[in-house]
Structure 1
């Protein structure tokens, strides 16, 4: 009988035998075997996926040939797909399915496609649905899950033995392209998928970059896609808004498309909607586009005035500054409309940032001195940069269990540092308020709804959400915390006793994001066994900073109520304190008597965390043989930075204790060797061989954002490899939100950002530049690194830095821009890299505003050359201005 032969061949893994059997069987015999095959599938016990005796692949082929109903066949195939990772049977589906006809195959394929989960689907399930649809010549359903699986399969590495072909070629030949590509513009959930970076196997020496902006322009050049439709879809997607991570690929695609003035003007209404309400990167794009229209005389003044009011109250200082500069230039062109201009600019007089208010006031008094009582007239010294940078305050605490559940749901979709802080604080305070049962009832369903997020993995450091899952389970049953419990507790014990996170068996990463994971694990461990009324480390500002007065009040409450903060919670609180604390607060802290209070007092008395030293590290290509690398003859491939602790004896190699301690529970008052969390945070050792670039840990943005808000150079050292590789705009923004000294790591990070390939990354670098200028930071080292990396080493493109530095100059940081240029030019003039004439032209524009005088090494020699090249002309112009 057919079913008996199928069972025998499937059990033996003989797929060719099954194909031959089914091809030769009559339709009546095949359909007669359907019920037996269904019973065999439903009753079979799963065997190891890779087992040669796994019957699932053969049974899948039999289902396609023998089961009459499409719905039943789809159910059985989904079951079998989950039992195997063997893809060899997929190649035989077309042959087996010929007897069923295109409509039946399309029906089954569509049903399977619609069953795919939106997130974390298995490639095997997607491949099965896709093979059936392609065999039928049918269009796939346009769903988030199917589109995500489609692009993930295309981005997978090309199998060994196959000819490497570029992604553009493979996409252009794919029958699903016209149907599925629009989904990435229309479905919000696919925004981050559009930004997945890849290394194109068909393009030599290509860096990893988001696939959508890298490939779509190529398909447009080939005529495979329609430019007007793609540009329209891109602008529409940007206009719909969303999270910055979901819009990044479309911002880059817009830049890659380079819309003409006519194309932009035809969509002026779309850009005017983006500027007031879009995320910062989208608003900056709209601002640049509209300004280009205005420069060309293609933007009505009424449109500019209408859109400027909402922009001038936005929190992003760089956007508001650029808008004020733009309005100032327009005011000079339209003296007859100055009253309207002043009325519009006056909106910024109420901006929360003092620098913005001063700029608006300067602009108003420059054009209408009589509009402001007591104004002394226009500012003739040029704009300056604010002396103080203040981050926005944290959102209010979570007030109820329903709000907590909503914040947890948001975290499971997109993690944010502020979101984690609010969830942790909410868990602790609501538990202390007696809402344990209510929290358990509302949060436990998340464990089933998002199984992948809470999956326990024994061979890697756990995801933060795994520890959140432990906390949720313990709310329902403190005695059943789940499989991650023992490893989590052991990792906390080791971190508390030795200061070490990470290692082959640790559940905590050794990178800074391991601190957030440790705090989540601490909540999971202590929430029910050692409850406290509140967390001490919850920041007061979105950059992670914690007001000392707030921490004092929390510890005073702890003393009054007789409880002690948890260890890592208190240590994180201390690491978040600002560098300067009011004397009255210091005096009040000295009166605390609890162990936590004495630790706080000692921390302030000793000056907090001493700044580690960041040291420049040159990485040279050398493969796996470092002894063969000769620094004298091997060129530098990349420059990163090490961190060396300032505290005596504080190092963090594997297995070496960072401080003495007893348990991972309450805080210890000892200050002799720093905090448990401290040593690993301030120790970074990079490999001098860049073959390990992909193995250099830095931690993720969420975990980095709030660990050390007042030690910018520490964060810069950790994230430098990423910034050096791709520009790292979001990570540059993290540095802009921090405060603290700028050492070698910050200087390198800023140079990589100013010379990044993509404009949004360079814009983020300008924000960091302005933040450093506002802090009064000396930027000569930045110029030195720009000169070294862009000159003799040739590691960055100097030409890319010119517009970014020009933006910083226009924003008021002329003196700091001159510091950079004056330090860079001596290195660049002898080698004359591409873009040097533009840099000299910028220096000539900046020098008068900065009051620069004197000599720049090497400038006189270039200016004295014979000829009339632009390089020589700009060198002469700059030299004359400096005399």
Structure 2
């Protein structure tokens, strides 16, 4: 204790070397007392000396490892920190040192792949500490992931790794550099640790780094310290494991550098077959190339190829399937006697969504009809229903079979509809939980927001003091709360008076762009309602809000609103003007005679609010648009009575666009909502933010007209891959409901093709809808849009895909007739896909074949 307190480091190490475990245990506690007594202002040399003394008196390996790890966490960033700590363990038993080393090695974290290229990382210090302990023990190093990674990174940085003497004696790092290959050759544990590194997530990315060490790995294999077979096997394991797209690229790059021989490729033939069927498309494509190399070398087993073909030809990727079909075709050309094994898997491609792939698969099978066995012929016949109707008849005739009877027309999905929302909670704690969830939500669902605020109003009406007590801690944790809602919460807490709450949000009269912008106007209306609720809470509390929706779309049943106004009348309360405005816009107007009954019930209330509701029920809902909002509505809501624009503030700092929020304003006026989304020139504009929620617009209430179809046509033309499923679902729902004006949709798509050098590619969305069973709808749209495409002076790049989809749909429903411009293209001498599909479409329309419809 005296020596440590004096900061004599050399004497401390000398005393530790002569102590046994009993002496160390006896000294540890008083030394710890000395350590805790040192303040932060004590000299660092003194603190380090005491820490070293305490560390040297630890006897249990687990405690020693824990102490070292704790010290490392406190010293992160200190250069060459690891060395001096090891001196405290000089003379310890080798087994004890190895145990501590393994425990410390297991604690080395695996750094993020993005940090691999950087030296000076804190993990390196803990690694050097673990490796020094293992060296002192003369033991084999552990193979934990973090330890193995840091070991590899020391080789890659090409600085000679410090020896044990360097670490213990704190000699400065040598500036001598060596190649990674030399470092790997010199390390006796390369064959033990390197395979472990290949299994780490991110190593494939590391191999793609500009300073990669692929050449060094190859160099080590040339001199025999590293086995080529191991290198190839680890690369294949990485490909099978998969990961982010860049990961396989790194393993492929190393494989290309290794340049496997035919024997090495053949040793992994089952792996290439598995990758062709299950891996991501880029990896699967390269795996098919490997199978082709084996085929060219005469090293590909027919049974293995057949097994791989079952999975590979069932994949959706068109290019990959066509490449694999070429591989099978080449195998059959070289060995026609293998048709019994290789043709049955080809039938998997009969059901591919791309009819060109189906045609390629059938042509492959047709070449071998004369030599196949009856069992194979029967398998081909059983697969005929998978083909498109036109190709199915051709194949049946070639097989000498009767064409299968057309099946039932594919069923469209059931009609989806909004679902009822749950009632607002009654207890104070539940109301505060709703508010806490609302404040924490990044993009709250509009109906959830309404429900939470309604729960707050209800709880404040019953016991505002109890609510404020529970709500206060929740609001204090929030740095920012939206305008309007902040005032409402402060009103509940008693932090404002009615004079502190604005009567309305800042006027938009001077900002014409704000008045027209849908996202800005929605935010303005929401603030107006919240301000009104806050002022009412401070002057005339109400038991609930009138406009709280009853359906997920934001709609409100008329009988529910009548009941709420009845309760207001019983309590002698008047409705908040903005609250009632929003409630009326959300009210589902029933059909006669139910509407007449509710009109009479509202008028019988004898209040101005009841009279207003009766008049609204009597006049609203007679047309597809929004009724004229007269003086009965507040100025804020009268802004809705104009032509609005959904994209006025696109890509600016103004409020983000949200179709769900826009629908919640007027959920029973669907055509009015669509009118705000459709550009006034009737051509696609930047509506990307709205596409994911288009099914919600179709599910909303109210008549549908040309504006809704225009919005859907815009989505079909402009949607990207991420939006296609949602847009296809909206199309299907509009079709099922009878809301889609199919000729108008086709006319818009055709019209827009004449306004651009390269037309919009609307085939992908329509193809997805067709695969869901809407062949007739897609044909009705395409039959109107195609003449404009065919009439263009320069043939569009997307024309082949559109014609293929049109031919598929026409064949499915047995369509007939003529398309202007089709004959000119079909008679062309070119051999492009567009010409081939034009001929196929003309043949289908001419034959008038009966389809499932």
TM-score normalised by structure 2 residue count: 0.49
Please identify the structure whose Cα radius of gyration is greater: 2
TM-score normalised by structure 1 residue count: 0.47
